[in-house]
Amino acid sequence: MLRAPTSDETEALLKERAERFRHDATSASVDGTAMVVVRAGRDLYALEAARVVAVGELSRVTPIPHAPTHVFGFASLRGEVLVVFHLHGVLGVPPSPSEHGRIVVLGDGIALAVDAVERFTPIDLGALRPPPPALGAAAAALVRGVDADGVAILDIDEMMRSERLVVDVARARTGEKRSR
């Protein structure tokens, strides 16, 4: 029988997930850190390539009843069942009007739905500017900075610690808020 995780269990899961994906942010080489640049609507975001497990086509997604709107649903990629989240929803910015066409797998059964994978490119993480104020507090907490081309560099560690990447349908169904 399935049961909803307790707050302590959820907190432990988030901490364990973040630890598994921990990395040294100061490891940028002279040429920069290899990044995967994705498009969600008109916005460009980058994720460290070493932290991306896979990129794939987004074909069939099964909705999760009572899940928050930023949760796209379940998908399967190469036999692995993934929980897919809308990237814009995770960042708390308005959704894009376009269709999602790709998923970026971060590991631990977590994937992000994006419109396209634009390119793989080195980015100098030491030369990032602060996120613009228009980005909003929710998104700014998950963005390390912005490069010279205006690409927002996502902080995967912060994303993996974020409650926005937890699906607790029992709590969502009852409208209960999570206490810390």
Q: What's the pLDDT band for 174 if we cut at 50, 70, 90?
A: low
- Say yes or no to pLDDT of 85 above 90: yes
Q: What's the pLDDT band for 80 if we cut at 50, 70, 90?
A: confident
Whether 106 and 159 have beta carbons less than 8 Å apart is answered as yes
The class that CATH gives domain 7-174 is mainly beta
Domain boundaries, the chain: 7-174
pLDDT of res. 179? 46
- pLDDT tens per residue across span 18-73: 655 544 333 434 478 999 999 988 889 999 999 999 998 888 889 998 888 888 89
pLDDT of res. 30? 47
133 or 111, greater pLDDT: 111
pLDDT of res. 33? 93
DSSP, residue by residue, the chain = ---PPPHHHHHHHHHHHHHHT---TT---TT-EEEEEEEETTEEEEEEGGG--EEEE----B--TT--TTEEEEEEETTEEEEEEEHHHHHTSPPPSSPP-EEEEEETTEEEEESEEEEEEEE-GGGPBPPPGGG-HHHHTTEEEE-TT--EEE-HHHHHHSGGG---HHHHHHTPPPP-
CB atoms within 10 A of CB 47: 23
pLDDT of res. 3? 66
Q: What's the pLDDT band for 83 if we cut at 50, 70, 90?
A: very high
pLDDT of res. 173? 53
- The CA R_g of the chain, rounded to the nearest whole Å, is 16
Whether 115 and 100 have beta carbons less than 8 Å apart is answered as yes
- pLDDT tens per residue across span 114-171: 989 999 999 999 999 998 888 778 888 899 999 999 999 999 999 988 888 887 756 5
